[in-house]
Structure 1
Amino acid sequence: MPSPLTIRRVRFDVRPWGDDADPARELHPFVDNVSLVELVAGYERSSGFDVPGAYAGLVLDHFNFGDLTAYLMGEPEAAYWTQRGTIALLGCDCGEVGCRPFESRVLVEKDLVIWRGFTQPFRPQRDYGSFGPFTFRRNQYDSAVREAAAVVSERADT
C-alpha cells in the first residue's frame, strides 16, 4: 500500500444502477481511476475475508444522504451514522447501504482530504488497518464532489 503522503485523485461517477426501465442512480467512487469496489475486493481477497467485494456504489435513490456535498465532506451533521463519525462510501451489491456498507472517516484539512479508518460494521472482526489511507488534494476533492453533486442535482430536476 502507498504511504499516507501519496497524493491520489478521486472521482465520483453517477451512473445507472439496476435493470429496470428507469434505473436508480449509483454514486461510484474511483481512486486513481480504479473503482473503490475493485480496491476493496482485492484487499478483502488478499486478506482471506469471506464474500470479498460484494459492494456497489451508493444507490442514491435508495439512500437519504441529505446534502451530497456535506455528506462526502464528512460533515458531522451529514455523517452516515453520526455516532461513529463515518460515511458509507459503498453499499451492498443488493443496492441497500444499510445491508453491508463500507465506511470511512473523512478528515478534511486545509489542503488535504483523507479517507482512513475503514470499517465494515456488520463484520467487525475484519481488520482494514492496512487498507489506505487515501489522501487527496483538497481542491481536487472539492472539484470531484461539486461535479458529482451537479450531476445528481441535474438528474433530479429532469
Structure 2
Amino acid sequence: MSSNEIRFDCRQRGDGGPLVIVPHIDGAPLTELIDRFEIAADMQPAGDAYGGLIPQFFRFGPMKDHFLGRSTKATGLKTPVLGCECGEWGCWPLMACITATADRVIWDAFGQPHRKTRDCMAFGPFQFDRHQYDDALRALSAVLGPDADDTRA
C-alpha cells in the first residue's frame, strides 16, 4: 500500500502577522490540491477559498493532537485541516476525518460544512506512514515552540 507524504508548512501571515499552518501533501499545499479538485468538479465558488489554520486565532489545543483528530475544539467527528482564506477557520473550513493507527494516519471523508451539497468524497483519501507523520508533527511543534498550546481563543 503506497503512502502519501505530509509536512506542515508554518509561516507568518503577511508582514509579521500570526503563524499560519498549511499541510503539504506530496509536496503540494493542501490549499492548491482542494482548489484543483473543486474547480475540476465545477463547484461554485471555487479557487482561493481556503487558507491555513491560525492557532493564535482559535484554541485548537496542541497541534500534535489536533492533527491526530483529537482536538478539543473540533466540530463533531471531523477536524478542520484548512480554514478560510480570510484567516477564520469557521468561515469556510475544509474538514476531514482523521484516523490514526499504530502504522498509519488516514485523512478522508472531506467536506465543507457550509455547503452540504458539495460532494468532496472523491477528494483523497490520503494515507500517511505513521512514523513519517509523527516526524512532521514534531517538526511543526519545534517551529511553534512550547507556548503554542497557550494561544488565545
The equivalent of 1:148 in structure 2 is: 140
Cα deviation, residue 38, structure 1: 0.4
2:29 to 35, 54, 74: 35
The equivalent of 1:14 in structure 2 is: 10
TM-score normalised to structure 1 length:
0.88
Pick which of 5-14 and 127-136 moved more. Answer: 5-14
What root-mean-square deviation, in Å, do the aligned CA atoms of Structure 1 and Structure 2 show? 1.7
Cα deviation, residue 51, structure 1: 1.9
2:83 equivalent to 1:91:
yes
CA distance in 2, matches of 1:145, 1:86: 19
How many residues are aligned here?
148
CA distance in 2, matches of 1:78, 1:146: 19
Deviations 1:1-57 (A, max 9, x none): xxxx431000001101134xx311100100000010000000000111112131001
The equivalent of 2:92 in structure 1 is: 100
The equivalent of 2:151 in structure 1 is: none
2:58 equivalent to 1:66:
no
Query: What is the SS of the residue equivalent to 2:98?
Result: strand
Whichever residue aligns with residue 71 of structure 1, its letter is H
The equivalent of 2:52 in structure 1 is: 57
Whichever residue aligns with residue 19 of structure 2, its letter is R
TM-score normalised to structure 2 length:
0.90
Whichever residue aligns with residue 27 of structure 1, its letter is I
- Cα–Cα, structure 1 residues 24 and 59, in superposed 2: closer, same or farther, change >3 Å? same
CA distance in 1, matches of 2:74, 2:9: 20
Deviations 1:38-81 (A, max 9, x none): 00000000111112131001022212111111111112x53511
- Structure 1 runs (4+) deviating above 6 angstroms are none
CA distance in 1, matches of 2:116, 2:13: 28
